Structure 1
Amino acid sequence: MLNLPKTTEFNKRIPKKKFYEQLEVTPEVKRVFVDQIKNIIWRNKIAPSTANIAVGEKVNEIEVFEVQLTSGDLEEKILKLIEQGIPYHIVFVLHNENRIQVWTAFKEAKNKEGSAYKVAAYYHTDWIPEDSFSLELKGINMDQVYENLVREIAGDSLLSNEEESLKESVDRTKEINSLKQKIEKLQAKMRKEKQFNKKVKLNDELKRLRVELLKLENEKNENGVC
C-alpha cells in the first residue's frame, strides 16, 4: 500500500474492540467502530530499522494504519481515539471500495521524553482511486521524513515557504483559516445590520481583518512556496 518499501510492511490486523474496550467511549462512538469500520490493519512500520533512515530527535516511528470502512467518511474524532495510547506518529489510509483517503496529523510532544503526543491539526487528501497515490520517504532522518509526509498529504491545504518549519506552517495556516472564518461571519453580520453607525464599525473591523489576512498570505508569496 502507498508503494512504501517492502521492508516496512507489517500487515497485522488489530481487533477493533482493542480500541473501544480499553478507552472510555460513548455508546455512539462504539457503534461507529462496530458499524462503520470493517477492519483496522497495521500495514507498515517506518523506522530506522525497517527503512534505513537515521533516527530523529522528535520522531521514532511512523505507523501506517489501513482503516477499512463499510461506507462513507470517518469522523476525525474516531482517528483521535485510535491514536490515544499509541506513542508514535500515524498515517491513516481510509479504504472504501476502490477509493482511499490518506490522513495524518501534525503532532507535538507532550513531554521532553517524547513518549506522548498531542494532535495539533489533521490533514488529508481527497477521496482518490486506491492505486493513484503513493508516499515517498524523503529526508535523511525520521524527523524530516515525517515533516515531508505531512506536507505531501496536506497538499495545498497547508501553506508553507522555504524558511518555515512545519510547526510555523501549521500555525500560520490555522491563523489564516481562523481569520477567513471571522471575515465570513462579519460579512454575514453586516448584511443583516440595519443601523448605519454599527455598519460603519463592522466595516472598519472587516478592513482590519482583511489587512491582517493579506499580510499572512503575503508571507507565503514573498518567501516562495515549497
Structure 2
Amino acid sequence: MFGLPKSTEVSKLLAKSKLYTKFNMSNSVKSIFDENIAKIIISHEISSRTLSIVEGEKVRGIYVLHIFLKRKEFKNQVLVHLINLIKKKIIIALQYQDEVKFAVYCTRLIQSEWLSEQNAQIPLVGLNLGRIWENIVMDIACITSQDGIPLDERIKMEDERIKIEKEISRLSKKARKENQPNKKYTLVQQIRILKKELQAYEE
C-alpha cells in the first residue's frame, strides 16, 4: 500500500476510544473526531527496524496513519490535534471512498491534492530517515529542494511565493477594471514590483 515496502507494514487498528482515554480528550474534541473519522489504522512504520536505512539526526522513525473519513470535507483541526497529541513524524493518509490525500505537519499543516487510491504513493528517497522525511514533505507540498536552505524556511518561502501570486492576480483584475489612468498606472507599478519579488523566489 502507498508504494511502501512490505517490511514496513504494521496494519494496527488505533481505536478512537483509546485515544480519548490516553489523551484525556474533552467532549468537544471527541465529537469532532467522531463526526469526521470512521477509523484509524497505523499502516506503516518507516525506521531502521523495518528498513535497511540509518536514522537521521532528528528523525528516528516515520509513521503512516491511514484515516478513513466519514465525509470528504473534514475539519483540518482534527489532523493538527492528532499530530500534536502523538508527537512523532507522521504522514497522514486520508481516505474517502476510493480517493486518498496525504498530510504532514512542518511549520504548518501541508496537504496534497486528492489522488486515486492507485496513484497514492509515498516515495522513499534519501540516504537516511532525515532526508527521507524532508523529501516526503517536499513531495506533498510540491516544492523543490534548494541547497543550504532548511526545510521549514523553504516552506515559508513557498507560502510567501503563493501569497505574492495571489496578490498579483488580485491587482491584475483590479487594473483591468480601472478606468482612471492614474489609478491604473499605480496598480500596474505595484504589479511590476510584485513580479520582481516573485522572480527572486523562483530563481
TM-score bucket (shorter structure): 0.7 to 0.9
Partner amino acid, structure 2, of 1:51: L
- Structure 1 position 122 matched with structure 2 position 110: yes
Counterpart of 1:82 in structure 2: which amino acid? L
Calculate the TM-score normalised by the size of structure 2.
0.83
Percent identity over the alignment? Answer: 28
Match of 2:3 in 1: 3
| Bigger shift: residues 183-192 or 63-72 | 183-192
8 Å CA contact 1:56–1:141 kept in 2: the answer is: yes
Structure 1: runs of 5+ lacking an equivalent: 108-118, 220-226
Match of 2:128 in 1: 141
The TM-score normalised by the length of structure 1 is 0.75
Name 1:166's counterpart in structure 2.
151
1:75 pairs with 2:75: yes
Q: What is aligned with 2:194?
A: 209
The answer on 1:179 being equivalent to 2:167 is: no
How far the C-alpha of 1:15 sits from its partner, in A, is 2.4
How far apart are the structure 1 equivalents of 2:45 and 2:160?
33
Change (3 A) 1:30 1:85: closer
The correspondence of residues 1-226 of structure 1 with structure 2, limited to 5 A, is 1-17=1-17, 18=19, 22-23=24-25, 27=28, 30-105=30-105, 107=106, 119-128=107-116, 130-154=117-141, 157-161=142-146, 164-191=149-176, 193=178, 195-217=180-202, 219=203
Number of residue-to-residue matches in the alignment: 201
CA contact 1:183–1:210 (8 Å) conserved in 2 = yes
Q: Work out the CA distance in 1 between the residues paired with 2:51 and 2:152.
A: 25
Indicate if the aligned counterparts of 1:71 and 1:96 stay in contact, CA closer than 8 A.
yes
Once residues 159 and 172 of structure 2 are traced to their aligned partners in structure 1, the CA distance between those partners, rounded to angstroms, is 20
User: Is contact 1:104-1:124 (8 Å) kept?
Assistant: no
Distance 1:163 1:125, change over 3 A: farther
Alpha carbons 2:63, 2:88 under 8 Å: kept:
yes
Shift of 1:11: 1.9
Gaps of 5+ in 2: none
Taking the aligned partners of 1:39 and 1:165, their CA distance within structure 2 comes to: 35
> CA–CA distance in 2 between the matches of 1:61 and 1:35?
30
In the superposition, relative to structure 1, how do residues 152 and 19 fare at CA in structure 2: closer, same or farther (>3 Å)?
Answer: farther
Quote the offset at 1:41 in angstroms: 0.9
In the superposition, relative to structure 1, how do residues 93 and 212 fare at CA in structure 2: closer, same or farther (>3 Å)? same
Alignment check: 8 A CA contact 2:20 2:30 kept: no
